[in-house]
Structure 1
Amino acid sequence: GSSNVLLNTGHGALGWTLAAGSARIVSDLVVGRTPEVDISGFDPNRF
């Protein structure tokens, strides 16, 4: 896998509802900040 690829997908019918929160998390990751919410449950390496 690539270490510099971020996917912001999987929102289904709630796409616009979740867009702002997801964008905040992605932007935090891009600039190297720790997101305000725990995102460890979304790490593909958790398995």
Structure 2
Amino acid sequence: MKTIENFCPKVKSILGKLQPKNYRDLDKALEEAFKAVSKKDTRK
């Protein structure tokens, strides 16, 4: 399985939990989500 196929669902899940309401919140949420995904998560 490709790395991006594991990365995207993880980021989407985190964004769903954070529920950003505007662009500023989305920017912060994306940063948090990207930091939360480890290399191990992407290689399942």
TM-score range, shorter chain: 0.3 to 0.5
TM-score by length of 1: 0.38
More helix per residue: 2
Highest RCO, 1 vs 2 (Cα 8 Å, sep ≥ 6): 2
